[in-house]
Structure 1
């Protein structure tokens, strides 16, 4: 491999990473089984997002809440299939930016690349805040939150540093185990300490704002598809990715439903978000202590993703991707540091950062997890089936579902942004917004 900069876009029929015996770094190492690919998918999706699901049931009721969680789990499985099919049809696609190039050329490539970077950094920030909240609970607020956030950020950086996903795959197995155990401990804690006189509702009538606010919880609990192309690019057999997706969505949907229902049944309509804050202090500390490792590893995966996108963009098809070069390591460490540092600064300097995470999810996760998958299907069907007439004649149902997927993504984007902005306005009006750089 030479040092020259690659062309703006590699050939579509070439895999992102080429394997040679003399390479120092071997990227295509992940199998789909639980020890590799599927575990990393679960580790980055099943994290702090699930802790808000019981509060969704408190807004719309247990029946609509469960139906929403199940529906969006199935919807996410469908869109995962469309993303995987698109990746298999275009092996050179490494991230959403590359997919944007295939769909709409250089401009769309930059839009989707920037969006992915923003969402990955905001995802890192979300995990940092969850880690800080866990440390604050465990220490009884015994240390300034800025210091706790700094400590957790430094640990997150260390997790992000391995150059290949194989380097964090075993951490992913540990992460999944931790969040599963933390959820079980939380359910036990709620079960042995039910809230006296709690109110439970099968269905609840509410306005659009409150209803969609509840819907955003299950919608964004599945928001991990933006990493799928990167994960599949490092699988030994990308064609096995759908097996991993089935395991991911099966586990996450079942776990989400059980966790949300059990917590809601024993705590009732007063359940907080995150739900662990509604547990007695001892049980909250136990759950947070166990989940802390999951927050750490998920944050590391998000920041690793942000760094990997830029790194591959800079050095694709050069020796710095595959060899221990000084320049390669300096750039890689710098990119990981910058990703975590930006997330840390946003978390301490922007009082409404937790609300901005909701806006970022509405703007990007709505498309990356749902809407854009419809465009992927339409693009490939159009070129493989002989244009619109071929699609309409051979795949009319598929076309209707793809169009619905695009429209659903657009609706989630617009409504989610509206709800997030209204939350910010309400927070300022009620004096809930703190000051930057404060403990």
Structure 2
């Protein structure tokens, strides 16, 4: 049969031994099934969104008005889907017992009357599976706001950005990059809604690339994601080891300081659900607010620790504080003269919005993912406001002396100590967040998929999670303690990974996603009855047709993608130049091993 002179290409289903159409596997094992087509993902995602809308309506009716008591109760519950799953399991047990009693068979029930094998009597239907599959999806959009804010917010370097580029460019660029980061979040949200379902769940950034571009792209993304999150944990261990050392007035061996932070991470690393991290993320946001209020008070009422500036920047002469509307002259640049000095500030600004890597993981744990935009929009607006307000305010008082880590120049010492304590706590919470998502990615993509480990929700999976957590922390500690100039190396990782995950990769993902959707011809699609996907063509012709249908959207995303690559290249160049200066002639190769603090 032909359509408009084009030979249709049908992707057939598989068959069981009796010649019947075989049911595809569902769940985690099926989310990267190469036999599932893009059209089938789209089909089940549409159904999932409709079911979520109805479930959310019923949830709101059952929940009733929001009060303080209901908020507290919800925070300490395991989520509505968990409760629904327990109800469904209880109903299933009653049904099975009735079926067993009617059949006169005792094989499925043990001596205590407990069902030993439900499958021996009946198979779970689609609704039972959907409830079970979504049992861990408990996060609300309010939780997402706190998680995104905890993930992204890094205000300590914002005064340095203004000191590098001035008031005007600083405000303008923070708004531009904030809008771009929000656009990336919108892209990931749209792709998630279009491809995720309980049947074929999306769990990570790599899953989106698998469904749009194939398995090789997924492996590349997963390796990059795991590396970025692991290196982030390494940097946080090293940085917080320095903070602990400063708080102890360097009376504690630096290695011991890092071990202390690592031990805290191990203790809290057993948290598997982001719903449990929601409280910590909530606390982190408010601690951040308290911390930058303290610094603003110190900046407006007390002096500057000039010794910290002269010891770590190019500024050697103490002059009156000066601020500039545009880029400051070379004499007032901290890191380098000319464009390089300004670009250091811009580089910090770009990284300030890094965090889109975790958005898919956040969405995967939401009870109602269509509400994600609320949490993301609030978080991005809040972050942008904090960056501009705090950066411009502190720059007005510190001027050219606004260092990249503003806490170092705060006076008096008491306020600096309090700020260090708060920074330690918030960094620890962020570290737990990266560890949680990072280890989940490693477990799902390597241990579960390749090594056939049990699912993370099973009893054995939980035990393995508890066992692998300390190993993850120990490896991060060993690298943080052994690699010389870890911050410089992490600068390259940030330029190659953090920036690309925030701007470049989402743009490229959306180009492929739109091309696949817009390339569809009349008569094409997935038939849930026959489980056949019909396409009338394939290859470059199909991709070209999809690109040209909404060419203006795809051209914008192509420009966005190329812009991300340019920023990544320039950031990598700056990081490499810094490493050359450190490791080249006249440089130093310092190891973090030892009792003396390396900073």
User: Is contact 1:25–1:321 with CA below 8 Å preserved after alignment?
Assistant: no
* 1:43-192 alignment runs, 5 A limit: 43-46=150-153, 49-91=154-196, 92-192=201-301
Give the deviation of 1:183 after TM superposition: 1.1
User: Is contact 2:144–2:376 with CA below 8 Å preserved after alignment?
Assistant: no
Task: Select between 384-393 and 60-69 the one with higher mean Cα deviation.
Answer: 384-393
1:359 aligns with 2:492: yes
User: Is contact 1:134–1:285 with CA below 8 Å preserved after alignment?
Assistant: no
Mapped to 1, the partners of 2:261 and 2:324 lie a distance apart of: 38
Name whichever structure is richer in helix by fraction: 1
Mapped to 2, the partners of 1:5 and 1:93 lie a distance apart of: 9
Match of residue 321 from structure 2: 198
Mapped to 2, the partners of 1:411 and 1:158 lie a distance apart of: 41
Mapped to 1, the partners of 2:267 and 2:516 lie a distance apart of: 44
Matched pairs, number: 428
Name the larger-Rg structure. 2
Give the deviation of 1:433 after TM superposition: 4.2
**Matched residue SS, 1:27:** coil
Give the deviation of 1:350 after TM superposition: 0.8
Residues 61 and 25 (structure 1), Cα distance of their counterparts in 2 relative to 1, 3 Å cut = same
Q: CA RMSD in A?
A: 2.5
Give the deviation of 1:392 after TM superposition: 3.5
Mapped to 1, the partners of 2:360 and 2:220 lie a distance apart of: 17
Give the deviation of 1:24 after TM superposition: 12
Give the deviation of 1:340 after TM superposition: 2.1
Residues 5 and 302 (structure 1), Cα distance of their counterparts in 2 relative to 1, 3 Å cut = closer
1:283 aligns with 2:405: no
1:302 pairs with one of 434, 439, 446 = 434
Unaligned runs of 5+ in 2: 1-24, 49-80, 90-131, 305-318, 330-336, 520-542
User: Is contact 2:453–2:461 with CA below 8 Å preserved after alignment?
Assistant: no
Task: Select between 278-287 and 329-338 the one with higher mean Cα deviation.
Answer: 329-338
Mapped to 1, the partners of 2:465 and 2:403 lie a distance apart of: 39
Give the deviation of 1:319 after TM superposition: 6.7
User: Is contact 2:516–2:546 with CA below 8 Å preserved after alignment?
Assistant: no
Give the deviation of 1:342 after TM superposition: 2.5
User: Is contact 2:510–2:557 with CA below 8 Å preserved after alignment?
Assistant: yes
Mapped to 2, the partners of 1:335 and 1:131 lie a distance apart of: 22
**Matched residue SS, 1:197:** coil
Residues 158 and 380 (structure 1), Cα distance of their counterparts in 2 relative to 1, 3 Å cut = same
Mapped to 1, the partners of 2:341 and 2:468 lie a distance apart of: 39
Mapped to 1, the partners of 2:287 and 2:155 lie a distance apart of: 13
Give the deviation of 1:231 after TM superposition: 0.7
Mapped to 1, the partners of 2:358 and 2:476 lie a distance apart of: 18
Match of residue 426 from structure 1: 581
Mapped to 2, the partners of 1:24 and 1:75 lie a distance apart of: 33
User: Is contact 1:159–1:297 with CA below 8 Å preserved after alignment?
Assistant: no
User: Is contact 1:32–1:243 with CA below 8 Å preserved after alignment?
Assistant: yes
> Whose RCO is larger (CA < 8 A, sep 6+)?
1
Mapped to 2, the partners of 1:302 and 1:8 lie a distance apart of: 23
User: Is contact 1:138–1:288 with CA below 8 Å preserved after alignment?
Assistant: yes
Match of residue 256 from structure 1: 387
1:239 aligns with 2:370: yes
* 1:344-423 alignment runs, 5 A limit: 344-386=477-519, 387-389=543-545, 391-393=547-549, 395-423=550-578
Mapped to 1, the partners of 2:374 and 2:495 lie a distance apart of: 28
Mapped to 2, the partners of 1:292 and 1:129 lie a distance apart of: 12
Give the deviation of 1:215 after TM superposition: 1.1
Mapped to 2, the partners of 1:331 and 1:59 lie a distance apart of: 48
Mapped to 2, the partners of 1:26 and 1:5 lie a distance apart of: 13
* 1:28-43 alignment runs, 5 A limit: 28-33=137-142, 36-43=143-150
Task: Select between 283-292 and 188-197 the one with higher mean Cα deviation.
Answer: 188-197
Unaligned runs of 5+ in 1: none
Match of residue 320 from structure 1: 455
Residues 64 and 24 (structure 1), Cα distance of their counterparts in 2 relative to 1, 3 Å cut = closer
User: Is contact 1:55–1:273 with CA below 8 Å preserved after alignment?
Assistant: yes
Give the deviation of 1:258 after TM superposition: 1.3
